[in-house]
Every structure is written in C-alpha cells, then in structure tokens.
Amino acid sequence: MGKPTGFTEYLRELPLDRPALKRIEDWNEFHLHMEDAALQNQAARCMDCGVPFCHTGTLISGMAAGCPINNLIPEWNDLIYRGLWKEALERLHKTNNFPEFTGRVCPAPCEGSCVLGIHSPPVTIKNIECTIIDRGWEKGWVVPEPPARRTGKKVAVVGSGPAGLSAAAQLNKAGHTVTVYERADRPGGLLMYGIPNMKLDKKEIVMRRLSLLEKEGVQFICATEVGRNLPAEKLMSDFDAVVLCTGATKPRDLPIEGRALKGVHFAMEFLTENTRAVLNGSKAGGPINAAGKDVVVIGGGDTGTDCVGTAMRHGCKNLVQVEILPKPPADRASDNPWPEWPKVYRLDYGQEEAKARFGNDPRVYLTTAKKFVSDETGNVKAVHLVTIKWEKNEKGQFVAVELPETERVVPAQLVLLAMGFLGPEQPLLESLKVDRDPRSNVKAEHGKYQTTIPKVFAAGDCRRGQSLVVWAFNEGRGAARECDRWLMGATDLP
C-alpha cells in the first residue's frame, strides 16, 4: 500500500497527453510523464485494501480481471510513495520482463479490479508502472544480465511477438541457448508492426529492449518463415525443444458485395506497411495511405482505434468507424459489477484525435456494412451501412437483425477491416503435425503448454486465441517454465 489515508486525500490524476491536433502532425509517442511529487501522490492512493484484486490475473465473464502476469502492484506503489525507485523497478521486474511495453499498450485490467475503484476512481497503476521502467532506463539501472552458466540445451522460439519474447527471455535466463525465428524483416512481431509508433515507439523503446536481449545471449533470425524457407523438420532435428508463439494472425474477413475492390484492406496490412515506412524514414506514412480520402474503419477494438489514429496522421478527409455492438454506458451497468472489467464508454486516443479535428466521435454503433460500391476504375468509392439490433434466434443465440429503412451510403475511398482474428495461420502447424482445437488453435493445456508432440510447446494467441499483449506475456513465461522443466527435470523459473 501507499499512504494509509492517501485515497481520501488525493484525487486520481493522469499526466497530460500531447494536444490531439498537434500530435497528429507526427509519429511520436503522445503520452507524457508526471512530476515525481505528483506521481508519488498517485502511488499514495493505493489503499490498505486487505485483499488486493489488482494482481490476481483471473478471467471473469470472459474478460481479464486483475493483472495476468501478477504484477506486485501494492508493493511497488508503496516503494514509489517512499521514493525508492530502484527497489520499485526490481520488484516490477520480478513478474514482468517488459514493463515499458505493458505500461504503454496494456488496457490495464489491474485498474478495473482495483478495490478503490468500487467507490472512487482507481489507482493510476499503468502510468506508475510506465514511469518506473522509464526511470530505470534513464538512470542506467536496466543492464544486460546474461546467465551465469549455460545448460547445453538449444531451444527455438518461433515468432518474436509478446509471447515469443517473454518465452525467449525466460529460457535464456534459465541458461538455455535460445534462437528466435521471425518471418518479418525486424523482430518484435505485434510490438514492432502491429502497434503504431505513436503508441509504442519502435527505435527508442522496442529496439532498445531487443538489443538488451541480444546482449544477454538471445539470437534473432529474421526474414525466415519456419515451414516455408526453413523446413520444420530441420527445426525439430536441430533443437532440443521448440516453442510456438506465432500469434493469431488470420484476419476475420467481411465477404459482402464489392469485397474485392481496390482500396479495401485488412487493418494489419495497413498498420504493418505504415510502421515499416515510418521506420524507413517516411513522414507521410505507408503505401496504403489515407491522405485526402474518406475513410471507413470497420471494427471497434484496439486495432480499429490504431487505424483511426494512423489515418488521422495521414491527413484523411473524413473518417467513420463502424461498430456492430451498442454504445457502452457511461457508468458500470448492474450486470457488470466490480471486479469485472468495466464495460463503459471510453474515448481512446484515435477517437479523441478524430473528434478534435472533425467535431465528433467517429464511431457509429449498432451498425454494419452491407456492400462496397465501385467507381469506374474498380476502386471503392462508397459503403452501404445499415443499422442492426441484436435478437435471439430459435437456438437462443444472439444474431444481428437489420432494421428496415436504415440503409444509408457513406463515401469511402479507403476501407479498413479491423474485425479481429480467427486463429493462427495453419501451414506451419500442419507441417509440424501438432493437434489443434475446434477453433484451429494449437492444442496445448493452459498451465502446461505442451502440444501433442512432447518437445513442442505453444504459447500466446496461437494457443489461446486473440487476446491481450499481457496475456501473451503470461503464456510466454509459463511456456518457458514448462519447457525448462521438461528439458531439465525441474525448474526455478516462476
């Protein structure tokens, strides 16, 4: 805890973000830090709640409640309140390999389960976490820590996203020789190409941590797709164990009239090419560009928000974001009690920027796209939208039903499909001959992570399906622990 009476003395405060209309002029991060004294006051709000739910890491009603990697939040809040920054960093690193990532991109289920949040705004856990690790890098406290000895065992990690990086970091810590294979031209997976630079800086934040991992002994081999230009059989013969962390990268499509028109793209194609262009020095963004166009983003999650923010920086003419679900309430509904994740209305950074420029939140709720319309050259020029309502069918399942006389046409020269993902891509899994579950994910029990092939483990979205970055960190650490146990007969990994 922080100060015993802190939660009665201090109001919740967050650092100011860079102004919306100013930050859309560049690709730099938009979050700022608070002064030390103000941050210590925020840490002081961590109350003596007796049974802290913030670090429980459970699933309630299908959503994360508390921190999935079990960050020791009350402990480092207390240390920050007392000004013990280095000790707070040590405590943070006990559970989290990459707090600079979670401190920027995690939706903070810990805050949704904060006991103080029952009757007051919760503790600003995410901001405190981010400031601790940023201070650690600034002060030179984060240094390479290669293992004291090597076991002689070799482990291949396939995929360098959140699950792959956490698995590699932990396996390397255990003394194994770890090689990470990544099919893209740079390591980092989702952290490198799936999240825009203004939300998570690549050169200053991601590549800094990747460089540290290399100094600790982890080897990254990029532009190599296992199962395509590196046979899966060679991987199995060259390594003592393999950990699959390929993610769930098969996007959900929208097979309606006009889907094949030019200008209709999957969101990740748009985001990946844009980040690659920014990393290569472009200030205007990638080849799929929203500059001067009417943009329609279909999907209301984090990926949709990132598409909105990217299109704003391109200088789009107008933007509409289509959301098939109803608009959330301003406050928790009675069927959404604490410590569940609060399903309430939020204005995320992308929508905040669109509102600042165009005057309103770009999202339209209970709406779906019915067809795409072509111009004379085969490019999309408009989208037919229709309002829906949710009703139960004869099987008791909720289905979307179109409301009559609600169809309307909106202009669109760029359409981005951000409707989630259906599971991992299958060719590698087929070549390895691992079993899959009914949702096409790798079949491996949570907590054990071992596939139907004993030396092959799986973690992250390829095992559990599309989820949060912090759950991928949880699974990567867990898979490393069980892989180490299988290799050595016992493990000291947490």
Domains and CATH numbers, the chain: 6-139 (1.10.1060.10), 154-249+422-488 (3.50.50.60), 253-419 (3.50.50.60)
Burial of 401 (0-12, 13-18, 19+ CB in 10 A): exposed
Share of the chain above pLDDT 70, in %: 100
First to last CA, the chain: 24
CB crowding 71-110: b at 16 or more within 10 Å, else e: bbbbbbbbbbbeeebeebbebbbebbbbbbbbbbbbbbbb
> What is the amino acid identity at position 102?
T
β-pairing, 398-402 vs 380-392, is antiparallel
CA distance linking residue 481 with residue 476, whole number of Å: 9
Q: Which distant-in-sequence residues (6+ apart) come within 8 Å of 135 by Cβ?
A: 85, 89
Whole-number average pLDDT of the chain:
96
Q: What is the pLDDT of residues 65-118, one digit of tens each?
A: 999 999 999 999 999 999 999 999 999 999 999 999 999 999 999 999 999 999
Beta strands across the sheet bearing 294-298: 264-266, 414-417, 294-298, 318-322, 363-364
Q: What is the pLDDT of residues 453-476, one digit of tens each?
A: 999 999 999 999 999 999 999 999
pLDDT at site 190: 95
Q: What is the pLDDT of residues 18-27, one digit of tens each?
A: 999 999 999 9
Q: What is the pLDDT of residues 170-219, one digit of tens each?
A: 999 999 999 999 999 999 999 999 999 999 999 999 999 999 999 999 99
pLDDT > 80? residue 64: yes
Share of the chain above pLDDT 90, in %: 94
| pLDDT range class, residue 48, cuts 50, 70, 90 | confident
Q: Where are the beta strands (DSSP E) in 301-407?
A: 318-322, 363-364, 367-374, 380-392, 398-402
Q: Where are the beta strands (DSSP E) in 159-284?
A: 177-181, 219-221, 241-244, 250-251, 264-266
Q: What is the pLDDT of residues 298-356, one digit of tens each?
A: 999 999 999 999 999 999 999 999 999 999 999 999 999 999 999 999 999 999 999 99
Spatial CA neighbour of 158 closest among 473, 494, 457: 457
pLDDT > 80? residue 438: yes
Helices 125-139, 85-93: inter-axial angle, 10-degree rounding: 110
Q: What does residue 320 show for φ and ψ, rounded to 5 degrees?
A: -125, 135
Handedness of CA 299, 305, 310, 316 (dihedral sign): positive
Q: How many CB atoms lie within 10 A of CB 309?
A: 24
pLDDT at site 408: 97
CA distance linking residue 306 with residue 291, whole number of Å: 16
Q: Where are the beta strands (DSSP E) in 139-293?
A: 154-158, 177-181, 219-221, 241-244, 250-251, 264-266
Q: What does residue 99 show for φ and ψ, rounded to 5 degrees?
A: -65, -20
pLDDT > 90? residue 3: no
pLDDT at site 379: 98
Whether residue 217 contacts residue 178, with contact meaning beta carbons closer than 8 Å, is answered with yes
Q: What is the pLDDT of residues 405-430, one digit of tens each?
A: 999 999 999 999 999 999 999 999 99
Token pair for residue 133? 């690790």
Whether residue 270 contacts residue 308, with contact meaning beta carbons closer than 8 Å, is answered with no
CA distance linking residue 302 with residue 362, whole number of Å: 14
CA distances from 406 to 367, 384, 409, 464 (A): 10, 10, 10, 38
| pLDDT range class, residue 357, cuts 50, 70, 90 | very high
Helices 125-139, 36-44: inter-axial angle, 10-degree rounding: 140
pLDDT at site 412: 98
Task: Tell me what the mean pLDDT of segment 53-71 comes to.
Answer: 90
pLDDT at site 62: 83
